[in-house]
Structure 1
């Protein structure tokens, strides 16, 4: 049986669709009934309610070891997709618990129950850093821990360390590091917020680069890696590295709205994140732009997916046509 953590998220949902084509039964972990109901509605909307009913739905929390132990009964493979994604500094404790401690619990139970292989969904946020003379980031690029990172980045890096620990203790593993994942079904969260902002009319843009990928490509590579002899490797999953301006123009064209026209410089975004900090401190609101996020908007680094392409091999979906179709569905 295959276990999927984070089954009610974007990657988890599309992964279940893919794995349902195989004969191996699926056990899907979820925490909240509301999120499970959302997934049920997604399957129903695509005339796939029979797939939802075939899945063994199991309510558990990654921090609740007794419930996890029950979930790991008879499991042969684990796809660890669950993670807290937040760039709010106030969430640093929750990020540590969910992403690092939660992953450690998954790894420990994989070892205890003799799981044959674990696929861990990490992020490009956990990768190393480019330099002035080497902007291309690969799986081997070193991480400069003296730089300023978001708490999310730190938590995903820490989660990877737990997976590597499991590998050293004998657990076969593969790690994937996707860029920003686009996909259907989750209009009010994640990358779909780009669609919302552009549709409403976003006036500003930056010239920094962003690594992007389609969710179907992410789950397909995960499946291929898990059903191969490959172990002890990590793979960047980035289809393209457009600038934010290029990405916004693609989406604006798809929505038939005006693209952003004002360039936001580093100075401007530095002022905005400081004002946002003052406002959130005074009025106890959540941050809209943090220091790390502001810096990332001007990032000139780009990510190479050459390793996954030469290993499987695999070709990613062209993102402009994919995003255009996604925007049409979003409308």
Structure 2
């Protein structure tokens, strides 16, 4: 039996689609507030409606939160392999406590149950946000050391803390692999993550910014996860990135795929900083704050993440980001036109 956490998210839903096409027994947990219909919708992007329903019905769904140990314990019954995709993503300073509870304490619960149930292998989905920054240059590998003295977002700290819990599990007998995807491109969740880029560009997004970071297609992420779980590789960490690109390039590729005008105005630091100041003032009156001083400056970062390790271990080949964007844009347009 395979257990998947975070099955109602971008990575989890695509992973479940792949797993459901095998003969393996699959169980996925979800919270009462989660939208299971969104998962079936993702399935329908890649097959007929009837086949999507048939594949979706193969999944055994259990109501359980990763912070609810009793419910989680029941979900672990007869499980041999675990894909831990569940995580809270937020860059609002007000969510600092929630991030630690969900991403660190929640992962600790998963690890503890993996130990208690003698799970054969755990795959933990982390993020490039948890990777350390080099002392010199801007190239980041799995060997780059995390520096606690640097400024890190609460999200990055929580994902790094979650990884520490996984490494603890490996010391207590659990075989595990950690994957660190960059910005994940894929369809189905248009109000969050990269999906929001498609929505914004389709409506006429005007600004671009120079930040360079890692991008990867969701199909490549779930393929790498499954290959690692099926291999004899254990207690290793892998950056998953297809290409390091500027957001200007990615936004332009998205606009081209959606047949929209590409963003033409360069975002300046003073413009973003002014927006941060306005949000800071607004937060006093209860408006949700989405930018922090650190995130303002991060919009102008230039980091290059290496995918050499996963290529060496698995001879893995990534899809070009342009192709991932084009496929996602096609699905988005079919959703708009439906």
- TM-score bucket (shorter structure): over 0.9
Q: Distance in 1 between matches of 2:254 and 2:80?
A: 41
Task: Compute the displacement of 1:315 (Å).
Answer: 0.6
Q: Distance in 2 between matches of 1:297 and 1:288?
A: 13
Q: Distance in 2 between matches of 1:134 and 1:33?
A: 44
Matched, 1:183 2:186: yes
* Cα contact 2:67–2:105 (8 A) shared by 1: yes
Give RMSD over aligned pairs. Answer: 1.4
Q: Distance in 2 between matches of 1:105 and 1:74?
A: 17
Query: Which position in structure 1 is the counterpart of 2:58?
Result: 54
* Cα contact 1:236–1:305 (8 A) shared by 2: yes
Q: Report how many residues are paired.
A: 329
Matched, 1:309 2:311: yes
Residue segments in structure 2 that go unaligned for 5+ positions in a row: 334-338
Query: Which position in structure 2 is the counterpart of 1:87?
Result: 91
Query: Which position in structure 2 is the counterpart of 1:289?
Result: 291
Matched, 1:214 2:201: no
Task: Compute the displacement of 1:276 (Å).
Answer: 1.7
* Cα contact 1:2–1:77 (8 A) shared by 2: yes
Task: Compute the displacement of 1:24 (Å).
Answer: 1.8
Q: Quick check: 113-122 or 50-59, which moved more?
A: 50-59
* Cα contact 2:40–2:56 (8 A) shared by 1: yes
2:148 corresponds to which of 137, 145, 151: 145
Query: Which position in structure 2 is the counterpart of 1:156?
Result: 159
Q: Distance in 1 between matches of 2:24 and 2:159?
A: 29
Q: Distance in 1 between matches of 2:34 and 2:224?
A: 29
Query: Which position in structure 2 is the counterpart of 1:261?
Result: 264
Q: Distance in 1 between matches of 2:309 and 2:43?
A: 33
Query: Which position in structure 2 is the counterpart of 1:31?
Result: 31
Task: Compute the displacement of 1:280 (Å).
Answer: 2.3
Q: Distance in 1 between matches of 2:132 and 2:301?
A: 13
Task: Compute the displacement of 1:261 (Å).
Answer: 1.9
* Secondary structure of residue in 1 paired with 2:188: coil
Which structure 2 residues correspond to residues 1-331 of structure 1 after superposition, within 5 A? 1-32=1-32, 34-43=34-43, 46=47, 47=49, 48-131=52-135, 133-282=136-285, 284-331=286-333
The structure-2 alpha-carbon separation of the partners of 1:44 and 1:272, relative to structure 1 and needing over 3 Å to count, comes to closer
Q: Distance in 1 between matches of 2:90 and 2:63?
A: 23
Task: Compute the displacement of 1:37 (Å).
Answer: 2.7
Residue segments in structure 1 that go unaligned for 5+ positions in a row: none
* Cα contact 1:3–1:26 (8 A) shared by 2: yes
Q: Distance in 2 between matches of 1:272 and 1:186?
A: 26
Q: Distance in 1 between matches of 2:112 and 2:34?
A: 29
The structure-2 alpha-carbon separation of the partners of 1:33 and 1:44, relative to structure 1 and needing over 3 Å to count, comes to farther
| CA deviation vs aligned residue, 1:138-162 (integer Å, no higher than 9, x gap) | 0011122112111111100100000
Task: Compute the displacement of 1:33 (Å).
Answer: 5.4
Task: Compute the displacement of 1:325 (Å).
Answer: 2.5
* Secondary structure of residue in 2 paired with 1:211: strand
The structure-2 alpha-carbon separation of the partners of 1:267 and 1:130, relative to structure 1 and needing over 3 Å to count, comes to farther
